[in-house]
Amino acid sequence: MPSITEKEEALLSLLAYELFRREPRINASAVDWASLLDEGNRHAVAALLYPGMKRLEGVPQGALAKARGAAIFAAESSESMLNNQQAVLALLRERDIPCAVLKGTSVACHYPHPELRVPGDIDILVDAEDLDAVHGVLEENHYMLAETSEMHICFQKLGLWVEVHRMASVFPDNKKGEFTKKHMLGALCHVQTAQVYGVPFPVLTGMYQLIALLTHMERHLTSFGIGLRQLCDWAVTVHAQREEIGEAELALLDRCGLLHFAKIATRLCEKRLGLPPFGWSADVPDALTDALLRDILDGGNFQSQDQIRPLGNMLTDAYNIQDSAKSSVLRSYIQNIRNRVRHEHPWAKSNLWIAFFSVFYLLRWTVRMLQGKRKKVNLSQAIRSAQSRESFLRELRLYR
């Protein structure tokens, strides 16, 4: 496993300062600050670097100005997103529709400077039986339906995206996946009020919040990958709830098949982001935390810097990787196509459609690559990458 670079060490050190005030040990004159800020942008954490950079001696004024600009932009975006979120929540409140904010401000509220956490979409969890009512009230207020999936419905209005979730995540069809799904169906019975700068909003409580974050991370990790922003979200949230995590809570994570992953992510945050240590994560081997960190750093925020991963993801069957006897590139590709067809073309019931789309998607990918709409990717390299990631993902024992 390749060691992390000096630039990556400096990036993690600056994040550790912002999140948990661990003093950065950085030789500012030895850092390529332009490259470091580019890396921060790819992981959507550049704004979080500014407090630590401001504290260091010897940081070039140009780099400091760029970091300050990223911080100002993040603060303005956060304020706008918070206002838009409150407008959506007010519409649901007027109709007495129970809801909770997922990700976004529900984790930003735990940051030392919430405004520096770059916002994404507005994610709202509602009960499945309320989806039609939510759809109606948003369309009445000029939100346009953009797309639907097994997990959520997306609406758009003037560049703003609102994802209305019918469930916190998509769960595998095995014993622990079914248990997690059943447990999370009761999430909206466990809601509390959080605040960012005096603005209140509903969030999930305790383990419901932690499980929602873990399932969000695992879902993206086993597909496109996660970035440092998602790791920072986990670090500040698990720290905020440390007094609530006892034997019963750890047993619940174990029943969900998420305890091993939670321990690895937590131990990584302790080693690299300054998270004060937990006793229950102490037995994680360094090789696992190093492998997770390398995967995160290589991928960027949702694959932003990994050009072969999108193709490699089609060759990795995330929820069957534990069963190595059934794992193969061809089987993984067909399973990926089967899931994609089920979501995008629910009318295509026959297995003949699976065969058709297996060829169609590959041909379309090739044509787009030849047209210059996708970067050229070496197929054998993508297969090797997929096989390597399968080995890594198998070690996470997700839902096992």
- In order, the DSSP letters of 21-48 are -PPP---GGG--HHHHHHHHHHTT-HHH
Answer yes or no: is pLDDT of 232 > 50. yes
pLDDT value at residue 159: 86
Same domain, 79 and 186: yes
Q: What is the CATH number of the domain that holds 100?
A: 3.30.460.40
User: Would you state the pLDDT for residue 309?
Assistant: 54
Average pLDDT of the residues in 285-314: 73
Which of 299, 324, 351 is the C-terminal boundary of a domain? 299
Q: What is the mean pLDDT of residues 278-288?
A: 96
Select from 24, 97, 2 the least CA-distant residue to 272. Answer: 24
pLDDT tens digits, 317-375: 655 655 555 556 677 777 778 777 776 787 887 888 988 988 888 888 788 878 877 66
Q: At what angle do helices 228-240 and 206-221 cross, to 10 degrees?
A: 160
Phi, psi of 195 (to 5 degrees): -140, 150
Contact 295, 221 (CB under 8 A): yes
User: Has residue 209 been placed in a domain?
Assistant: yes
Whether the CB-CB separation of 162 and 124 falls below 8 Å is answered with yes
Indicate if 327 and 189 belong to the same structural domain.
no
pLDDT of residue 311: 58
Q: Are 292 and 313 contained in the same domain?
A: no
Instruction: Let me know whether 344 and 248 are in one domain.
Output: no
Instruction: Over range 139-147, report the average pLDDT.
Output: 93
Specify if 294 maps to a domain.
Answer: yes
Same domain, 22 and 117: yes
- pLDDT mean over 297-306: 59
Instruction: State whether 144 and 193 are in the same domain.
Output: yes
In this structure, are 172 and 318 located in the same domain?
no
pLDDT surpasses 90 at 378: no
One domain for residues 226 and 365:
no
Residues 141, 166, single domain; the answer is yes
d(C-alpha 91, C-alpha 196), whole Å: 20
Reading the block at residue 79, the tokens are 């304020």
Last residue of a domain, one of 281, 299, 317: 299
Q: Which tens digit of pLDDT belongs to each residue from 158-202?
A: 889 999 999 999 898 899 999 999 999 999 999 999 999 999 999
Looking at the fold, whether 314 and 279 belong to one and the same domain comes out as no
Is residue 1 one of the residues assigned to a domain?
A: no
pLDDT for residue 44:
95
Residue 305 pLDDT: 45
Name 157's Cβ contacts closer than 8 Å, sequence gap at least 6: 141, 142, 143, 144
Establish if 304 belongs to a structural domain: no
Could you say which DSSP state residue 187 is in? G
Residue 78, SS3 per DSSP = helix
Nearest to 1 by CA among 271, 264, 295: 295
How many domains are contained in the chain? 2
Where a domain ends, among 278, 299, 320?
Answer: 299
Question: pLDDT-based confidence at 393, cuts 50/70/90?
Answer: confident
Residues 90-135 pLDDT 10s = 999 999 999 999 999 999 999 999 999 999 899 999 999 999 999 9
Kindly state whether residues 25 and 114 are assigned to the same domain: yes
DSSP-derived 3-state class of residue 153: strand
Q: How many angstroms separate the CA atoms of 119 and 104, rounded?
A: 6
In the chain, the N- to C-terminal Cα span, in Å, equals: 25
User: What would the pLDDT profile of 10-36 be if each residue is shown by its tens digit?
Assistant: 999 999 999 999 999 899 999 999 999
Asked whether residue 293 falls in the same domain as residue 319, the answer is: no
pLDDT at 376: 67
Q: Is residue 244 part of a domain?
A: yes
Q: pLDDT at residue 71 above 90?
A: yes
Q: What is the pLDDT of residue 351?
A: 85
| Contact in structure between 10 and 40 (CB atoms under 8 Å) | no
Model confidence at 302, pLDDT cuts 50, 70, 90, reads very low
Does 386 score more than 80 pLDDT? Answer: no
Task: Compute the mean pLDDT over every residue in the chain, rounded to the nearest whole number.
Answer: 89
Mean pLDDT of the region 49-69:
96
Q: Does the structure show a pLDDT above 90 at 65?
A: yes
Residue 141 has pLDDT above 70, yes or no: yes
Residue 367's pLDDT is: 84
Are 259 and 250 a contacting pair, CB within 8 Å?
yes
How many CB atoms are located within 10 Å of the residue 34 CB? 12
Percent of the chain with pLDDT over 90: 68
Distance CA 60, CA 262 (A): 38
In angstroms, the CA 261 to CA 220 distance is 13
In angstroms, the CA 114 to CA 197 distance is 9
Q: State the pLDDT at residue 106.
A: 97
Helix then strand then coil, in percent of the chain rounded to 5, is 60, 10, 30
Q: Which domain holds residue 219?
A: 6-299
- Say which amino acid occupies 85: Q
- Give the contacts of 288 (CB within 8 A, at least 6 positions apart): 264, 267, 395, 396
